[in-house]
Structure 1
Amino acid sequence: MRILLVGAGGVGSAFTAIAARRHFFELIVVADRDEARSVKAVAALQDSRFTAAAVDASGAAAVSALCREHSITHVMNAVDPRFVMPIFEGALDAGADYLDMAMSLSQRHPTEPHARVGVKLGDEQFALSPQWESAGQLALVGMGVEPGLSDVFARYASDHLFSHIDELGTRDGANLAVHDEDGNEIFAPSFSIWTTIEECLNPPVIWERSRTTGVGPEGGWYTTPPFSEAEVFDFPEGIGEVECVNVEHEEVLLMPRWVDAERVTFKYGLGEEFIGVLRTLHTLGLDSTEKVKVGGVEVSPRDVVAACLPDPATIGPRMTGKTCAGLWVTGTGKDGAPRSTYLYHVVDNEWSMREYGHQCVVWQTAINPVVALELIAAGTWSGTGVRGPEAFDAQPFLDLLTAYGSPWGIREHPILR
């Protein structure tokens, strides 16, 4: 396996640190628009299987050319979703398989954005699935932590725990805090603010079987206003109660395609301060990606916001706490009795910094595509076309995740009568 990793930021660098401990690949080319970042990521590994390169991921031709130059078999996309389609199309053109952790961007419904879907997350990619199938290539989409691990949990729950699923509810939360040099807590998102703004301010998507119009999941998706349907969820391993709200996310677009359920949701524990900041950015127009002219220079307001905040890759030494990604499944168990189960994965920032030198959120995101690539290299996961993680057997993935030294957990919830 010869891998092109596009993106040497926080998640990309964590990906290389995790992959360096495994032996399933021959080469990883670490490529970034800023070649200095690629060089830095590779130099930290001192491993001859890694090499650095530069690439402009906004053009499919550049991605394809780099693939051909290095005889790449698999492209790993670790940049923000603006670049999904050129990387996706570049891999297809070069004859390489493809993985990403975020799917092609959505577009709001032109007249009813808080009720009806427009262009959904991943629609552009699924539209090209026949080309991937005819080429005999696999595009594994949404294979990070969220989306990604929760989708694996959905398949596991369907296969091993439940005979009927009422709801697949992804629930993510954390008790993370970032401090300045004087010990004061500061506002510093632990993940790409560009991506966070995109998913949190877009209308959240929900899927319900009762709304479907025919065979398959089509017609079952609808939208709500941002931050809707707030609930308090008690996260495990000392994180505790966090208020979660609806957020647009790929799980809701992926799970109904492969897993039977009555309803699919995604809720994120953002916290009151974070929601307030996002609402203010939206009110001021600072969430916009449309360029404005400032002093003769054209710049996107959202890019300015991202440039003003700390790089998520650098905040690890000043961050404390744990992050949890998981899936709350309700329905009927294999024994015929009502069941409510939370499948989860928790990472402690102190542990990930000590063991890998990367903060817990980017590390937790990066480990899942590494596990998936190892399963693909072994032939355990295989196929063609555009597929989500739910399309594959979950047990080998969860076994290998545990073998990597990062076990997952199950917690049963009381049944409310």
Structure 2
Amino acid sequence: MKKNVLIIGAGGVAKVVAHKCAQHNDELGRIAIASRNISKCQAIIDSVKAKGSLKEPADIKAFSLNALDVEATKALIRETGSQIVINVGSAFLNMSVLRACIDTGVAYLDTAIHEEPGKICETPPWYGNYEWKHLEECKEKNITAILGVGFDPGVVNAYAALAQQQYFDRIDSIDILDVNAGSHGKYFATNFDPEINFREFTGQVWSWQNSQWTSNTMFEVKRTDDLPVVGAQNLYLTGHDEVHSLSKNLGVPNVRFWMSFGEHYINVFTVLKNLGLLSEQPVKTAEGLEVVPLKVVKAVLPDPSSLAPGYTGKTCIGDLVKGTKDGQSREVFIYNVADHEEAFAETDSQGISYTAGVPPVAAALLVARGEWDVQRMANVEELPAEPFLNALDVMGLPTRIKDENGDRPWNCNA
């Protein structure tokens, strides 16, 4: 049974991961946090202690680490005796951290697809460009590598698998709906790393439609849905990680991802993009200084982790699945609603970080228990959904289902 966790990253999601690991340290063992900025790691540790999150008395250790340095990461894995690595640092780190885990024989978990700094919206499927190139190596070396085990991607992948296994004989479409109906009170901010956030929206929008890749532009395709708790919301077709694995693994002809945006966000985003300030390509100033515009924008925007105090409202994220069961057409919405204020009260974090940070710890627990220690590389939809959703139910992210029989917890019989 694997135990002892190394958390790589020290942002808002890492803070939630640390709190949740601490709440389950009787099973997960020792906890270490590593980042280039060790003071951020220590601040997370201070938060965990202040909230009394540790289930059993223990020390959490902070380390300075450049996770792009594979040898340094391998050395830290060995030094800490970690058998599970939860990578919640920048998406630019994934391949380096994965390599360190493969070389040291430990389990690897992440919450987002790998990206290269100079490339945006690469040729689909995105996992095929990086992660899936290591499928055979992980299988040969018995390495458990669970990809994209945040909320979206992650929990929504489990929702899709659950729908296919229990609620449909044939699925015609999966529309993943991601709504943040909360308010942080700032003029403009992103809920997670601005650099990664904006990169999702500045290139092509890839979706899987009629069993082929389809390209649109951001904010080109809009829909309005009346959703539980958060009500009517405008959502836009957006490129996102989970489309690139669900399209391959579930055999569904239509898989799309939609995200809610307010008019103010769209207006500011459009101005920044039209001015070239969201470009990932370096430019030179009149003084000869080379800068990347997107990094400058990131530097002047609020740190996403600073948004948590005073953040109000709720999120609603789920899968709207359409198809047939027993010859009859049906529609099922499998979803979660999270509360920003409740997330802050528990973990000093806002709801977006909470929804992204709880699932990898649930996955780590399943790895530690052996249920998800599959000794190969897998996306979440390839793993048993029920133990994952059961764990999330008791860890703060309960799942609900809305269909022709009403709205209820997912594991209650209609």
Instruction: Specify the SS of the correspondent of 2:48.
Output: coil
Q: 1:106 Cα shift? A: 7.4
Equivalent residue, structure 2, for 1:317: 309
Whichever residue aligns with residue 195 of structure 1, its letter is I
2:126 match: 121
1:192 paired residue number: 193
Q: Matched residues in 2 for 1:410 and 1:385: separation?
A: 31
Please list, as runs of the form range in 1=range in 2, the aligned pairs for 1:76-155 lying within 5 A after superposition: 76-105=86-115, 118=123, 120-123=125-128, 124-155=130-161
1:84-140 deviation line (CA, Å, top 9, x unaligned): 211122221222111111111279999xx8xxx625422211011111111110111
Residue 20 of structure 1 corresponds to 22
Deviates more, 1:293-302 or 1:242-251: 293-302
Q: Separation in 1 of the partners of 2:273 and 2:398?
A: 38
Of 70, 81, 91 in structure 2, the residue corresponding to residue 60 of structure 1 is 70
Which whole-Å CA distance do the structure 2 matches of 1:170 and 1:160 have between them?
A: 18
The amino acid that maps onto 1:357 is: D
Secondary structure at the counterpart of residue 31 of structure 1:
strand
SS at match of 2:357: helix
Which deviates more from structure 2 when the two are superposed, residues 86-95 or residues 9-18? 86-95
Please name the residue that 2:236 is paired with: 245
Residue 288 of structure 1 deviates from its aligned partner by 1.9
Q: Deviations over 1:325-366 (max 9, x none)?
A: 111100012x33211111111111121122322111101110
Question: 1:43, CA displacement in angstroms?
Answer: 2.6
Q: Out of 167, 170, 178, which is 1:172 matched to?
A: 178
Superimposed CA distance per residue, residues 56-104 of structure 1 (whole angstroms, 9 cap, x where no aligned partner): 0222222222112222212111112122211122221222111111111
Give per-residue Cα distances to partners, 1:219-253, cap 9 Å, x unaligned. x333222223210122211x111111111111101
Question: Which residue matches 1:43?
Answer: 46
| Stretch moving more, 137-146 or 275-284 | 275-284
Code of the residue aligned with 2:158 in structure 1: it is V
1:71 aligns with 2:62: no
1:35 is matched by which residue type in structure 2? I
Shift of 1:141: 0.6
1:297 deviates by 4.1
Indicate the percent of aligned positions where both proteins have the same amino acid: 28
Corresponding residue for 2:319? 327
Give how far 1:259 is off: 1.8
Structure 2 gaps, min length 5: 406-414
Distance 1:319 1:370 in 2: 23
* CA distance, structure 1, for counterparts of residue 158 and residue 262 of structure 2: 26
| Other structure's SS at 1:45 match | helix
Whichever residue aligns with residue 19 of structure 2, its letter is A
> How far 1:292 moved relative to its partner?
3.0
- Name 1:182's counterpart in structure 2: none
* Contact 2:77-2:104 within 8 A present in 1 as well: yes
- How do 1:212-231 and structure 2 match up within 5 A? 220-231=212-223
**By how many angstroms is 1:402 displaced?**
0.9
More off after superposition, 393-402 vs 281-290: 281-290
1:159 to 155, 165, 170: 165
Contact 1:109 1:119 in 2 (8 A): no
**Which AA in structure 1 matches 2:123?**
G
Cα 1:149–1:166 shift into 2, 3 Å:
same
Distance, in Å, in 2 between the alignment partners of 1:409 and 1:119 is: 31
Q: What are the residue-to-residue correspondences of 1:268-287 with 2, within 5 Å?
A: 268-287=259-278
2:295 is aligned, of 285, 295, 303, to 303
- Aligned residue type for 1:232: T
Q: Paired residue for 2:335?
A: 344
- One-letter amino acid of the structure 1 residue matched with residue 270 of structure 2: R
AA of the residue aligned to 1:340: E
The total of aligned residue pairs comes to 393
Of 151-160 and 67-76, deviating more is 67-76
Counterpart Cα distance in 2 of 1:62 and 1:223: 40
> Structure 1: where are the runs of 5+ without partners?
180-184, 212-219
- Residue 4 of structure 1 corresponds to 6
The SS at the match of 1:58 is coil
Taking structure 1 as the reference length, what is the TM-score of the superposition? Answer: 0.89
Q: Secondary structure at the match of 1:8?
A: coil
3-state secondary structure, aligned to 1:287: coil
Counterparts of 2:124 and 2:339, CA distance in 1 = 36
Partner of 2:408: none
Contact preservation (8 Å) 2:189, 2:302? yes
> What code does the residue aligned with 2:115 have?
L
The answer as to 2:373 corresponding to 1:382 is yes
3-state SS of 1:136 partner = coil
Q: Would you say the 8 A contact 1:106–1:119 is kept in 2?
A: no
Q: Please tell me whether the aligned partners of residues 22 and 31 of structure 2 are also in contact (alpha carbons under 8 angstroms).
A: no
- SS for the counterpart of 1:290 is coil
